[in-house]
């Protein structure tokens, strides 16, 4: 007859020592089973070293899951645990089969129902932990979704049994069946004692095994973290339920171990925080080892914690392995933690797996999948430029220019389009450019780079051809595995070996799962593969002595000198219960009535309390509790109830509490724990000695800060705002833009609109953003419409209607003349553009009938001047004292009177025209320059009486004439203003003056390089900032 005993006591009681004493008394004939591996290692060390016991064969102290596996393995049963990826794939296959059979409620299921699969697995796990078989669950279903769950559960379980796979609840089922049987259980043979200690409670499946063990061993001891004090019911509710069940079934002898009086505030708070009636006073002499620490946000929280830890390590106050940092959202921020820890030089031991998809190789393979699926421009460029794409067996070429080539080719996506448009681009690059065409201008040797891109595109297409379009899941996986080997990805030294093992494991799992008789198309397999890469995990190797980082639940059974509990915000700690699509609270209550006990909100709340209880108990010396003042979106965040509860405890108001001001988000010089820390501290709190001590580290940031202060104060514009000061640079500018340079009106207008924009575009040659692939360049659109109007008016007979007869034919011819400019556009885009332009031109011709006087007739078109290749010479203007400026340009259209003595200039604008004040103020000089060019160069002796801007798409025009009209200015006003502003612009360009100012103080279009901020410019110029500038007057 088994003798059962129940040992009850909190973690800090003498319960564990008493159980260890029982095990030591039966050493070699006893097994000690604990809930976590860390506790197993600690208890084994305590038995061997603390009690001087000799080593024994086997593992007398084991974590529960490991011990159950040993139990089954000793019987000769192969135990293969199914991992999370394989569980998902198995359940997904079950759901897919049910969907094909029409058994999913609602008429079907998503093609790859990842969310549905996740909820199903959670529901099945609950049922298996509750020791509910598929058959038992099928008998208590209450609706179509319950029936669906029952069917999915049954099929999932059948697959596991058929493949000899076990999930964790399945291990306990199998072990329970073994112990309930009549045959011998080898691992239990010769054992006098099985002790299970350190548990808060058991799942129903675990409890079934415990009860089965009671029939197999002479002595069974169960030790629970439990205090029967009624005041602690909210903390020990789960263990109390387990105690009652054990009392009912085992009738054990009981022994209670009271906890000693706490010596620290955390020891006091670990139970006082959860009492139904708060204690009136704290015990005398408590060490104030708990500190409350508000932090700005998660980044500040991580950095401040690491900064403090590094200080402790440098002082020798503790060892890295004696420090723990826990975050409730650790999985979300694990990458940020590891990156920051590397910067601070703090070694990290990270608990939990790293998603394969979050690492370099996983990200690359996911991008490769998308590239081969859609051949989208961004995906393809990332793949062929990646370091892991090495099908040629050689180092990758310079891939930086690849995006510019793709844009120049006008690629929008698709495998065939990639190759066709790259071939057309090669043809365009190989032929001489036509006059006035949109020649391909690239700041690198285009043909060699294009050849490299074409080679890598060919290699990508070869990989694409190796993958089957339709095959079984196993065949797809084999082909993709071979492709990965061909790529050289798995041979890259940058890929960590744990990630490679995870990749091979994920591919092996894919090849072993799935219906071998069912074929998938490639897209379906790619979606499956993508989810597999996201579901696979690996563990990074950790140094032997490192700081422990994990979620709070991992503190159970562990002890540290110092514990940092981060992110204790409202709604986060304690956390909300996970949702499940199959079991609402009402369902859980209904199932309890049928004898099926599933955990609900109440049990989840109790577990959250236990997590925090174990966290407080894990700190042997110091505990730092921090929360964030802002959430991830910058919104205000509040401390959680555990934070406020600790402050409300007796003595809580005198706990050490960090203060926080915005400046404190930047460390002081003494607190700096990394090069970036030191630079930030030096920027906020300048200290000359620091720069002298760390010149290489601080010279750049400090010089940058000096520049920024100068740029944002009220001093005049300086060298860092476009007012160039270097004598050699200014001399170079004076020569480059000297008397022989030919300015176009548009170039000078750019300086007048914003000198810094001129500097960026015309001096630094910073290219504008490329046109969106697949769309027509606005410049090409303008060329086509100008060309169509030239042909239309050039061929027009006297008396022909102006409503547009012939304009569509002229537009068609213009498209034919510009085939070289249009070869990157699809036929659909070309037709849409042609239709739209045709409508616009017909409307334009009808509109201007009432605008232009019939005293003039079109005579000359696209007349250049100042261009070296053709036309008249440059227009020469005197500017300043003895200096001249040469101007060049092209007049769209010149109309003449019948006697040729007077002219009218027409300049077409694709969109809206400038404001009248821009002409009278000299910011727009084009018409004024053209008027003088006609009179002095193109038609000497002709008086240019009128000049017009005509919008081809809008109902706005502007006019310069002998008399000021409704939509224009006088000739004298325009010419005088233009001459004055041309003189100012040329003088500024030659002197190197390019400040980020505009005539009206507003931000200029296309001048983002100037970092134009209206309030900043207002301070510099003394102008009042615009209402939306943010800072009012300077």
| Confidence at 409, pLDDT banded by 50, 70, 90 | confident
Scan for tokens 């390590």, then name that residue. 313
| Confidence at 800, pLDDT banded by 50, 70, 90 | very low
| Confidence at 798, pLDDT banded by 50, 70, 90 | very low
CA-based end-to-end distance of the chain: 93
> In sequence order, what DSSP letters do the residues of 384-452 get, joined into one string?
HHSTT--TTSS-----TTHHHHHHHHT--S-HHHHHHHHHHHHHHHHSPPPTTS-----SS-HHHHHHH
d(CA 804, CA 781): 19
Higher pLDDT, 500 or 743: 743
What's the mean pLDDT in 597-617? 94
Express each pLDDT in 7-54 by its tens digit: 999 999 999 999 999 999 999 999 999 999 999 999 999 999 999 899
CA-based radius of gyration for the chain: 40
| Confidence at 869, pLDDT banded by 50, 70, 90 | low
Question: Using CA of residue 405, residue 492, residue 505, residue 126, what is the dihedral sign?
Answer: negative
Domain with CATH 1.10.10.160 in the chain: 83-166
User: What is the architecture, at CATH level 2, of domain 290-353+542-665?
Assistant: 3-Layer(aba) Sandwich (3.40)
Express each pLDDT in 188-244 by its tens digit: 998 999 999 999 999 999 999 999 999 999 999 999 999 999 999 999 999 999 999
What's the mean pLDDT in 836-861? 91
Higher pLDDT, 513 or 60: 60
Higher pLDDT, 800 or 748: 748
- Of 149-163, 222-236, 347-361, 518-532, the poorest mean pLDDT is in 347-361
Strand, helix or coil for residue 10: coil
Check pLDDT > 60 for residue 494: no
What's the mean pLDDT in 851-874? 87
- Report how far apart, in Å, the C-alpha atoms of 99 and of each of 62, 108, 516, 713 are: 43, 5, 18, 68
- Report how far apart, in Å, the C-alpha atoms of 469 and of each of 366, 464, 480, 532 are: 18, 10, 12, 19
Express each pLDDT in 425-458 by its tens digit: 898 887 765 544 445 667 678 889 999 999 999 9
Domain with CATH 3.40.50.300 in the chain: 3-77+185-258, 290-353+542-665
- Of 192-196, 398-402, 478-482, 569-573, the poorest mean pLDDT is in 398-402
What's the mean pLDDT in 729-746? 94
**Tokens (6 digits) for 720:** 């860092």
Express each pLDDT in 109-148 by its tens digit: 445 456 888 899 999 998 988 888 888 888 887 788 888 9
Report the pLDDT value the prediction gives residue 870, as an integer from 0 to 100.
Answer: 67
d(CA 957, CA 285): 89
- Length in residues, the chain: 1034
Strand, helix or coil for residue 651: coil
**Tokens (6 digits) for 468:** 């089957």
Structural contact between residues 567 and 639, judged by C-beta atoms closer than 8 angstroms: no
Report the pLDDT value the prediction gives residue 113, as an integer from 0 to 100.
Answer: 57
Domain covering 3-77+185-258, topology: Rossmann fold (3.40.50)
Check pLDDT > 60 for residue 966: no
Percent of the chain with pLDDT over 90: 57
Domain with CATH 1.10.486 in the chain: 357-538
> In sequence order, what DSSP letters do the residues of 784-831 get, joined into one string?
HHHHHHHHHHHHPPTT--SS-TTHHHHHHHHHHHTHHHHTTS-HHHHH
Residue 346 is given by DSSP the state -
d(CA 251, CA 249): 6
d(CA 352, CA 340): 18
What's the mean pLDDT in 269-298? 95
Indicate the average pLDDT of the chain.
88
Report the pLDDT value the prediction gives residue 843, as an integer from 0 to 100.
Answer: 92
Number of helical (H) and strand (E) elements in the chain, helices listed first: 38, 27
Structural contact between residues 221 and 22, judged by C-beta atoms closer than 8 angstroms: yes
Report the pLDDT value the prediction gives residue 804, as an integer from 0 to 100.
Answer: 57
Report the pLDDT value the prediction gives residue 1012, as an integer from 0 to 100.
Answer: 64
Higher pLDDT, 256 or 916: 256
| CATH class of segment(s) 357-538 | mainly alpha
Structural contact between residues 616 and 268, judged by C-beta atoms closer than 8 angstroms: no
pTM of the model: 0.78
Domain covering 83-166, topology: Arc Repressor Mutant, subunit A (1.10.10)
Check pLDDT > 60 for residue 734: yes
- Of 189-193, 708-712, 1010-1014, the poorest mean pLDDT is in 1010-1014
């Amino acid at each position: 007859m088994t003798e059962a005993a129940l040992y009850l006591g909190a973690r800090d009681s003498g319960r564990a020592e008493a159980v260890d004493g029982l095990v030591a008394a039966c050493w070699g004939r006893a097994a000690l089973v604990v809930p976590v591996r860390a506790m197993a290692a600690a208890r084994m060390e305590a038995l061997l070293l603390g009690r001087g016991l000799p080593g024994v064969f086997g593992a007398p102290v084991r974590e529960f899951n490991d011990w159950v596996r040993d139990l089954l393995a000793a019987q000769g049963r192969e135990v293969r645990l199914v991992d999370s990826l394989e569980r998902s794939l198995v359940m997904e296959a079950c759901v897919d089969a049910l969907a094909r059979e029409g058994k999913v409620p609602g008429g079907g299921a998503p093609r790859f129902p990842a969310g549905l699969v996740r909820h199903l697995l959670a529901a099945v796990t609950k049922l298996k932990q509750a020791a509910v078989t598929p058959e038992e669950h099928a008998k208590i279903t209450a609706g179509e979704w319950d029936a669906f769950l029952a069917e999915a559960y049954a099929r999932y379980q059948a697959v596991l049994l058929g493949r000899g796979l076990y999930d964790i609840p399945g291990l306990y089922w199998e072990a329970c069946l073994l112990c309930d049987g009549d045959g011998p259980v080898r691992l239990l043979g010769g054992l006098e004692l099985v002790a299970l200690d350190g548990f808060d409670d058991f799942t129903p499946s675990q409890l079934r095994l415990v009860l089965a063990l009671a029939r197999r061993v002479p002595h069974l001891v169960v030790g629970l973290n439990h205090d029967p004090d009624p005041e602690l019911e909210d903390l020990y509710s789960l263990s109390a339920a387990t105690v009652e069940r054990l009392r009912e079934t085992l009738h054990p002898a009981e022994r209670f171990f009271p906890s000693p009086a706490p010596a620290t505030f955390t020891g006091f708070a670990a139970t006082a925080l959860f009492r139904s009636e708060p204690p009136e006073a704290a015990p005398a002499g408590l060490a104030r080892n708990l500190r409350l620490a508000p932090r700005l946000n998660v980044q500040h929280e991580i950095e401040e914690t690491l900064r403090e830890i590094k200080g402790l390590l440098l002082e020798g106050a503790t060892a890295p392995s004696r420090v723990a940092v826990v975050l409730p959202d650790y999985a979300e921020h694990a990458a940020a933690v590891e990156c920051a820890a590397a910067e601070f030089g703090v070694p990290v031991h990270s608990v939990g797996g790293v998603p394969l998809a979050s690492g370099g190789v996983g990200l690359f393979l996911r991008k490769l999948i998308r590239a081969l699926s859609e051949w989208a421009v961004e995906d393809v460029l990332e793949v062929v430029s990646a370091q892991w794409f090495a099908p040629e067996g050689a180092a990758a070429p310079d891939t930086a220019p690849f995006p510019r080539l793709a844009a120049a080719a006008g690629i929008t996506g698709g495998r065939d389009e990639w190759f066709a448009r790259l071939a057309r681009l090669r043809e365009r690059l190989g032929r001489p450019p036509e006059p006035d065409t949109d020649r391909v201008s690239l700041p690198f040797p285009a043909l060699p780079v294009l050849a490299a891109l074409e080679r890598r595109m060919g290699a990508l297409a070869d990989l694409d051809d190796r993958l089957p379009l339709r095959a079984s899941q196993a065949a797809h996986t084999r082909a993709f595995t071979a492709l990965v080997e061909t790529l050289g990805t798995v041979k890259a030294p940058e890929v960590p070996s744990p990630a490679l093992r995870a990749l091979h494991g994920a591919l092996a799992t894919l090849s072993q799962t799935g219906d071998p008789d069912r074929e998938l198309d490639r897209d379906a397999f790619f979606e499956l593969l993508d989810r597999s890469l996201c579901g696979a995990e690996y563990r990074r190797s950790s140094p032997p002595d490192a700081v422990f980082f994990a979620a709070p639940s991992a503190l159970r059974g562990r002890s540290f000198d110092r514990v940092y509990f981060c992110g204790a915000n409202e709604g986060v700690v304690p956390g909300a219960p996970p949702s499940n699509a199959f079991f609402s609270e009402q369902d859980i209550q209904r199932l309890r009535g049928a004898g099926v006990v599933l955990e609900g909100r109440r049990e989840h709340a109790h577990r959250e309390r236990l997590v925090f209880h174990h966290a407080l108990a894990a700190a042997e010396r110091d505990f730092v509790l921090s929360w964030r003042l802002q959430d991830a979106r910058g919104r205000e965040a509040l401390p959680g109830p555990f934070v406020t509860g600790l402050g409300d405890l007796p003595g809580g108001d005198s706990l050490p509490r960090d203060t926080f001001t915005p400046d404190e988000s930047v460390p002081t010089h003494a607190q700096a724990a990394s090069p970036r820390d030191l630079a930030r501290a030096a920027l906020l709190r300048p200290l000359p000695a620091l720069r002298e001590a760390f010149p290489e580290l601080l010279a750049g940031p400090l010089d940058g800060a000096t520049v920024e202060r100068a740029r944002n104060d009220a001093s005049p514009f300086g060298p860092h705002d476009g007012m160039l000061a270097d004598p050699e640079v200014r001399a170079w500018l004076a020569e480059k833009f000297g008397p022989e340079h030919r300015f176009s009106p548009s170039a000078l207008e750019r300086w007048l609109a914003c000198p810094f924009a001129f500097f960026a575009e015309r001096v630094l040659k910073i290219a504008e953003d490329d046109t969106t692939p697949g769309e027509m360049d606005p410049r090409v659109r303008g060329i086509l419409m100008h060309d169509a109007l030239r042909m239309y008016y050039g061929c027009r007979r006297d008396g022909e209607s102006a409503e547009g007869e012939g304009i569509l034919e002229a537009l068609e011819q213009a498209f034919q003349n510009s085939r070289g400019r249009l070869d990157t556009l699809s036929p659909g885009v070309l037709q849409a553009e042609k239709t739209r332009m045709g409508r616009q031109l017909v409307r334009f011709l009808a509109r201007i009938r009432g605008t232009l006087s019939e005293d003039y007739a079109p005579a000359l078109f696209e007349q250049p001047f100042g261009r070296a290749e053709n036309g008249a010479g440059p227009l020469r203007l005197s500017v300043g004292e003895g200096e001249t400026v040469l101007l060049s340009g092209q007049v769209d259209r010149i109309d003449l009177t019948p006697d040729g003595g007077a002219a009218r200039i027409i300049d077409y604008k694709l969109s809206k025209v400038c404001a009248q004040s821009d002409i009278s103020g000299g910011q727009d000089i084009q018409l004024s320059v053209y008027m003088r060019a006609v009179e002095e160069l193109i038609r000497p002796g002709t008086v240019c009486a009128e000049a017009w801007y005509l919008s081809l798409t809008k109902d706005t025009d502007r006019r310069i004439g002998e008399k000021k009209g409704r939509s224009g200015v006088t000739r004298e006003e325009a010419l005088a203003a233009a001459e004055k502003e041309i003189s100012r612009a040329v003088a500024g360009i030659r002197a190197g003056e390019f400040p980020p100012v505009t005539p009206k103080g507003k931000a200029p279009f296309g001048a983002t390089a100037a970092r134009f901020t209206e309030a900043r410019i207002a301070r510099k110029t003394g102008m009042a900032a615009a209402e939306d500038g943010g800072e009012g007057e300077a």
